[in-house]
Structure 1
Amino acid sequence: MPSVTDAPTTYPALAGLLLALPPSAGPVRLVAVDGPSGSGKSTFAPRLAAALGGVPLVRSDDFRVPWDADPLTWWPPFERDVLAPVTAGRPGRLRRYDWHRDVYGPPEEVPPAPALVVEGVGAAWRGCPAAFRIWVDAPRDLRRARALQRDGIAYADAWDEWAGREARHFASDRTRDRADLLVDGTAVAAPAFHATRPARSPS
C-alpha cells in the first residue's frame, strides 16, 4: 500500500489531530487501535489516551474472549454496555475481566468524554463507528515472543491458533486497508513513534 510520511509521530501531536475531528459516536470521537496480537497495541493505546487528556480506554481484553473464540466475541457486550450509552450521551458501564483470576472486576463508569480509545483485535472492524482507525503491527517473531512473555510458554500452541484466527478475521474484514494511520509497533514505548498515513486513491 503506498504511503506518505506526513503523520504526527508523537502522542501529543496525534492527540491534537484526533481532537480536531468531528465526533463519530454521539458526542464522542471513537479512536480504534487494532492490529495482531503482540504488535504493541496495549503499549500504544494508554499513551494515546493519556495524551488525549486521560480519556477512557476500553480493551478487548476487558471482556472474556476464549482462545478458540471468534475475535469479535467481545464486541456485542462492548456495544451494549459502553458504546450505546456513550453514543446517547450517557455513561457506559464496564466490569473488566481479570484473565489471571477468571473473574470480573467491580463496575466502572465510562463517561462520554471527548474521545474514547478502544484497543484490541477487532477494534477497527468495519462495523465500528470510528472517527479514526489506527493499525499497529510488528514482525511476527517479535509479536509471538512478546505474547509468550506475557502469557507464558504454555500458551504457545493457543497463540499460534489465535494468530491464524485473527489473520483470517483481518483478511475478511480488510481492517488494515481502512486504517487512517499505520504504526510501527516495534518502538511504541518511546516518546516518538514511526507512523505513516496511507495514500488512498480517489473513489
Structure 2
Amino acid sequence: MSSPDLLAPVLRRIAAAPTNSVVLIDGPSGAGKSTLADAVRRDWPTTRAPSLVRLDDIYPGWQGLQAAITHLRTQVLVPRSLGLPAAWQRFDWATEQPAEWTSVDRDRPLIVEGCGSLFAGAEALSDVRVWLDADDALRKHRALTRDGELFRAHWDQWQSDWAEYCLREVPQSRATIRLKAR
C-alpha cells in the first residue's frame, strides 16, 4: 500500500467522527505510525487542526512501554474525556529524566500515535482507532535506520515488552481500521 492508500480510510473515518475526535494510532515499532500521524494531521478533514501527542516523547526509557500507557490513560485521555485539563510529561532521553509538561487542548481534535495507544479501555476514550502493521524485516530496518545504533542495543528488550503488551491487551482487536504498510 502506498501512503495515500493508508491515509484515505483514516481520513474518511475521521470525517464521520465527532468534530472534537480522538484518533489513536498503534502498531509495532517501525510500522510507520509517525509518518501516518503526520499525514493525518496535515490533511485533517475539518477546519479545526488537531493536537498531536507522540508516545515516543512519553516513554520513560527503553522499558517504559507500560508506564507510558498508564500516563496516556490517566493524564491525557481520561481527563480529556471528562472535560478536565489534560497534559503529558515529556521524557528527556538525553538526561534520562522527566521534563516539561505539555497541555492538551480539550477543544481541539487529538491524535495520539505510538506503541501502546490501543490499550484495554481505549475504545471508550477515542473515536477512531488505527492499527498499522508492517512485515517484521521492514519494521526492524525502518526502526534501526531511524534510531540508529542506540535502538539496536535495545531492540530485543523492546520487542519482548511489545509482545507482552500485544498478548495482554490484544490492541489490534480494538482498531476501527487495520492497515498494513509496505
TM, length-normalised to structure 1: 0.72
Indicate whether 1:120 and 2:114 are aligned.
Answer: yes
Distance 2:63 2:88 in 1: 23
Distance 2:152 2:5 in 1: 33
SS at match of 2:67: coil
Distance 2:13 2:173 in 1: 20
Indicate whether 1:156 and 2:148 are aligned.
Answer: no
Q: RMSD of the TM alignment (CA)?
A: 2.5
Indicate whether 1:48 and 2:40 are aligned.
Answer: yes
Q: Which amino acid aligns with 1:161?
A: Q
Q: Which amino acid aligns with 1:156?
A: R
Aligned partner of 1:111 among 89, 94, 105: 105
Q: Which amino acid aligns with 2:115?
A: V
Distance 1:77 1:68 in 2: 14
The 1:157/1:10 distance shift into structure 2, 3 A limit, reads: closer
Indicate whether 1:66 and 2:57 are aligned.
Answer: no
Indicate whether 1:77 and 2:71 are aligned.
Answer: yes
SS at match of 2:66: coil
Distance 1:139 1:172 in 2: 21
Q: Which amino acid aligns with 2:144?
A: L
Q: Which amino acid aligns with 1:59?
A: R
The 1:38/1:22 distance shift into structure 2, 3 A limit, reads: same
Distance 2:96 2:24 in 1: 26
The 1:144/1:116 distance shift into structure 2, 3 A limit, reads: same
SS at match of 1:64: coil
Deviation of 1:91 (Å):
4.2
Deviation of 1:104 (Å):
4.8
SS at match of 2:160: helix
Long gaps (5+) in structure 2: none
Indicate whether 1:176 and 2:172 are aligned.
Answer: yes
SS at match of 1:31: strand
Aligned partner of 2:13 among 7, 11, 17: 17
Q: Which residue of 2 aligns with 1:86?
A: 80
Q: Considering only CA atoms, is the larger Rg found in Structure 1 or Structure 2?
A: 1
Moved over 6 A (4+): none
Superposed CA offset, 1:139-179 (max 9, x none): 11111111112222243242122112212211232211232
Deviation of 1:126 (Å):
1.9
Q: Which amino acid aligns with 1:29?
A: S
**CA contact 1:36–1:167 (8 Å) conserved in 2:** no
Distance 2:164 2:74 in 1: 25
Distance 2:8 2:138 in 1: 27
SS at match of 2:30: coil
Aligned partner of 1:37 among 29, 32, 36: 29
Distance 1:99 1:50 in 2: 27
The 1:144/1:100 distance shift into structure 2, 3 A limit, reads: farther
Distance 2:132 2:96 in 1: 28
